Each structure stands twice: as C-alpha cells, then as structure tokens.
C-alpha cells in the first residue's frame, strides 16, 4: 500500500495547505500516539526556527496530550539533536517540526523511534491508517502532561563534544560557521568554541522568515567568500534543521558530501576503524566510487534519502555513508544524519593529520555532473514513459562507459530530477538539457 502523506523524510508541504495545517497536525499526533506511544508514554518535540513552528508545536502537543502521552518540549534544536534526546530522555517517540532545507513558507513533521532512528515505511503506513478517524481525547484522568526542557540544547552540545577525540582540540583553528539561520544557530558556534576554535558566525540570526535564505548548505556561496576574506582555516555550513553539512576549504572551494565521505572513509581506513562498505546513493559522484575503489574501499549505492543510506549501512555492517547534499551518517558516533557531528569528524582529521581541507579533498576527482529539476503538474513516473526511456538509452549510448544517467521523482517536491554525469562537462550539460526537454514534454 502506497503512503498518502509521508514522503522520503516525513510529511512536508506549504504551510496552510494540506497537509501542513493545524487540523492535520492534531490528527497526525493522535494517530502516531495510538501506534507508537503506549498510554502514559513520553514524546519529545523539537523544531527549527521557522515562524510556523510555534503553531505546529502547539497542535502536536494538543494531539499527543489528548491521546494520553506526556510531552517534553525541546524548543529550537537540530533534527539529530532531537534524535539523540529521544534516547537520552527514554522517550517513546521523537518529533521534529522542520522542512529541512526548504524556505520558511514550507514546514514538515518527521518522527524518530525510541532508538533515535527514523520510522520504517511499514510504521508510517500504520500511522496513516489510523488517521482515517477523528483524533481521540481521553477522559481527564488519562490525559498526558506537557513541560518545557530548558537544558536540552546544552545536553546536545555536550553530546556533540563527546564525539570529538579526547586527545585533540580545535585550538588555533579559525572556523566560519553558517547555521542557515536555522536550528543550529546556537549549538554550532558554542560547540566549536567549547572545543577551542575561533568561531566567525554567519547565518546565525534567525527571525522566523530567513531560514535557508541565501545561506547554509544549500547556498554556500556566502561562506565561500567569507572564509578566505577573514583568513579562516575552514568553513562549515548546515541546513535549516542541521542534518546536512557542506564545508569550504581555506581557498573558498566548496567541499560537498561526496568529498567529505571520501575524507572520513580514508581516515577511518588509516586508523583501522573502517567497517563494512561506504554507502552513497544513486546520485553520488562517480569520482567518489572510483577514488574509494583506488583505495580498496568497497562502495555501495542506496536509493536517495538518508533513511535508505542508513538501512544499507545496517544491512552491510557499514559505519559511514551519506549523500552529495551533505546528509552524512557516521554510525560509530551517532544514530542518524548529523551535520555538526560529521563536521567535527572532518575537523578531527584535519587536526590529527595537520593537513588543510583542500589537501584532504584532493584525492577525490569530481566528475562533471549536471542536475536539472523539471517541475511537473501531475505525478509522473519516468519509467512509464516510452519517450523518456528512449531518450535515456540514447544518452547512455553516447556516454558509454564514461558516465551515468539518473532520473527520479523527488520525494519532497513536485519535480523530476534529471542527472547526467560524465568526464566532458560540455557534453554532460548538453545531454542533460536535451533529456530535461523530453521529460518536460512528457510531464505536460
């Protein structure tokens, strides 16, 4: 049975439009409580900095309390922080109010189970089936209670610091930190400062409307300009909810998730700590696969979405995986994608080796890769269109062994992502445009 509301990463949409309404949030909380929170159980709720977070926080609180669950309100905190505190507070369920890298007009709701992991497709389907009826309100004696946790941020900061090697610090390292005006705006700078770094914060002044706007991991151009301008050693950029990270080297060059995976994997290999294969996705750069192969490190591709990377890591016994976008999972340090923790691991490699980030990333050549998002008015499966499939075969024949083609429907937006990768940038750009035109025609 296909899911109606849950996408690749929870429920997401434009605020005020189905499903991102107060009514839906109350029904979702009531359904999730029936499936995952036994009577008298505990739910933790955190959010990012977008304006609508207050509204959805109240709606979810009401739905859970009415269903008999106790609620701990964590306030603004990165998504991985909420995953960690779900475990730390022995809660039955963790709830995140965030639309991740989207602008403030959107919002979303996603869940973590008691182990701090994202829900399976089967559990999400069970929750959706419970939403067919109205939300429940128990009698007064069975209602839950809600309270705010004032030290949640400090507790998460302490956890982040604990993932950094005890024998190292960040003294003498100047870091420009960009929180995308999102949930990491306090946690990030303070964690780095606690480890001894000199921190230059940008994108750390949220006003409810500027999350991900011209800053953060999806817009790292400001960071690229700032790092060399202030003579910093490195730049770190999170997205709005803090589960993605991209970095910038001392020259202002962007170092994406594929390159960060390469740096962490080869460092773990040198230290004898690498287990299982490194896991990327079908969108990971071919240069990563070739560079890891040269280092004799096994590489696997999962479907797009950090939840699928995590599933593959668990199936294969791996500990490091992620996406080009910067969703990094370091399973020997945390249970889910964590931008700040991942950045700390890279900073530790820099500190231990004495190498600059540009030197560490130099071992992975990036093949030219062009992705075009084709907006669709109706749901389209590229595999169902003979015109699209014929165009894909033609492009693959032209690339032969030197590149790849990936077409997929986004799980969070009404678009088809057209990706072409190869060794010749002009050829890649031309083929991507040609294929995108075919997809656009099929989508009308």
Annotated catalytic residue: which of 30, 52, 100, 385? 100
381-411 as b/e: b if 16+ CB within 10 A: ebeebeebeebbeebeebbeeebbbbbbbee
* Spatial separation of the C-alpha atoms in residues 278 and 322, rounded to whole Å: 9
Coil, strand, or helix at residue 264?
helix
* pLDDT of 361 over the 60 cut: yes
* Spatial separation of the C-alpha atoms in residues 147 and 141, rounded to whole Å: 18
In sequence order, what are the residues at sequence separation of 6 or more whose Cβ sits closer than 8 angstroms to the Cβ of residue 113? Answer: 36, 86, 93, 94, 119, 123
Residues in the chain: 444
Active site residue 100: yes
The pLDDT assigned to 382 comes to 83
- pLDDT tens digits along 336-352: 899 999 999 999 999 99
For residue 305, name the pLDDT band (cuts at 50, 70, 90): confident
* pLDDT of 1 over the 60 cut: no
In sequence order, what are the residues at sequence separation of 6 or more whose Cβ sits closer than 8 angstroms to the Cβ of residue 400? Answer: none
For residue 383, name the pLDDT band (cuts at 50, 70, 90): confident
Q: What is the CA radius of gyration of the chain?
A: 22
The dihedral of CA 196, 200, 206, 211: what is its sign?
A: negative
Q: What is the mean pLDDT of the chain?
A: 94
Domains and CATH numbers, the chain: 11-150 (3.40.120.10), 156-361 (3.40.120.10), 369-443 (3.30.310.50)
Which of 207-216, 339-348, 424-433 is predicted least confidently? Answer: 424-433
* Spatial separation of the C-alpha atoms in residues 220 and 239, rounded to whole Å: 10
- pLDDT tens digits along 37-66: 987 899 999 999 999 999 999 999 999 999
The 8-class DSSP code of residue 376 comes to: -
- pLDDT tens digits along 399-419: 887 788 989 887 667 889 999
- pLDDT tens digits along 225-276: 999 999 999 999 999 999 999 999 999 999 999 999 999 999 999 999 999 9
DSSP E strand boundaries for 174-295: 174-178, 198-202, 234-238, 245-248, 254-255, 278-281
- pLDDT tens digits along 109-119: 999 999 998 89
- pLDDT tens digits along 81-130: 999 999 999 999 999 999 999 999 999 999 999 999 889 889 999 999 99
Instruction: Compute the average pLDDT of residues 375-381.
Output: 78
Residue pair 344/334 in contact (Cβ under 8 Å)? The answer is: no
The pLDDT assigned to 310 comes to 92
* Spatial separation of the C-alpha atoms in residues 326 and 218, rounded to whole Å: 9
In sequence order, what are the residues at sequence separation of 6 or more whose Cβ sits closer than 8 angstroms to the Cβ of residue 282? Answer: 301, 302, 303, 304, 406, 408
The pLDDT assigned to 155 comes to 97
* Spatial separation of the C-alpha atoms in residues 182 and 179, rounded to whole Å: 6
Give me the sheet containing 320-322, strands edge to edge.
299-302, 278-281, 320-322, 328-330
In sequence order, what are the residues at sequence separation of 6 or more whose Cβ sits closer than 8 angstroms to the Cβ of residue 250? Answer: 227, 228, 232, 233, 234, 356, 357, 358
């Amino acid at each position: 049975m296909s899911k109606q509301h849950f996408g690749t990463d929870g429920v997401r949409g434009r605020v005020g439009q189905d499903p991102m309404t107060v009514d839906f949030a109350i029904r979702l909380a009531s359904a999730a409580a029936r499936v995952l929170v036994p009577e008298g159980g505990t739910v933790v709720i955190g959010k990012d900095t977008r304006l609508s977070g207050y509204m959805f926080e109240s709606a979810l609180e009401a739905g859970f309390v009415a269903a008999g669950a106790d609620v701990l309100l964590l306030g603004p905190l990165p998504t991985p922080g909420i995953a960690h505190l779900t475990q730390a507070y022995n809660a039955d369920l963790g709830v995140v109010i965030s639309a991740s890298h989207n602008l403030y007009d959107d919002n979303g709701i996603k869940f973590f189970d008691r182990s701090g992991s994202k829900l399976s497709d089967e559990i999400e389907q069970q929750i959706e089936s419970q939403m067919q009826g109205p939300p429940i309100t128990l009698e007064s004696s069975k209602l839950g209670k809600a309270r705010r946790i004032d030290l949640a941020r400090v507790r998460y900061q302490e956890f982040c610091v604990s993932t950094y090697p005890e024998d190292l610090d960040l003294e003498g390292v100047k870091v420009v930190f960009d929180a995308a005006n999102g949930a990491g705006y306090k946690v990030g700078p303070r964690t780095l400062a606690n480890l001894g770094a000199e921190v230059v914060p940008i994108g750390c002044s949220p006003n409810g409307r500027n999350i991900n706007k011209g800053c953060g991991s999806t817009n790292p151009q400001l960071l690229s300009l700032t790092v060399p301008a202030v003579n910093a050693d490195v730049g770190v950029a999170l997205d709005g909810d803090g589960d993605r990270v991209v970095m910038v080297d001392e020259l202002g060059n962007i170092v994406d998730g594929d390159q960060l995976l390469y740096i962490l994997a080869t460092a773990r290999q040198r230290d004898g700590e690498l287990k299982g294969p490194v896991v990327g996705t079908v969108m990971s750069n071919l240069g990563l696969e070739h560079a890891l192969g040269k280092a004799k490190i096994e590489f696997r591709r999962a479907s797009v979405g950090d939840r699928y990377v995590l599933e593959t890591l668990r199936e294969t016994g791996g500990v490091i995986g992620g996406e080009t976008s910067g969703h990094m999972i370091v399973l020997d340090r945390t249970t889910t994608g964590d931008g700040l923790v991942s950045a700390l691991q890279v900073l530790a490699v820099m500190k231990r080796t004495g190498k600059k980030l540009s030197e560490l990333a130099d071992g992975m050549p990036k093949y030219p890769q062009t992705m075009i998002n084709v907006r669709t008015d109706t749901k389209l499966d590229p595999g169902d269109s003979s015109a699209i499939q014929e165009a894909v075969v033609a492009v693959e024949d032209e690339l032969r062994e030197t590149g790849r083609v990936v077409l997929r429907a986004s799980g969070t937006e009404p678009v088809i992502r057209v990706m072409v990768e190869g060794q010749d940038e002009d050829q890649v750009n031309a083929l991507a445009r040609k294929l995108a035109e075919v997809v656009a025609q099929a989508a009308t």
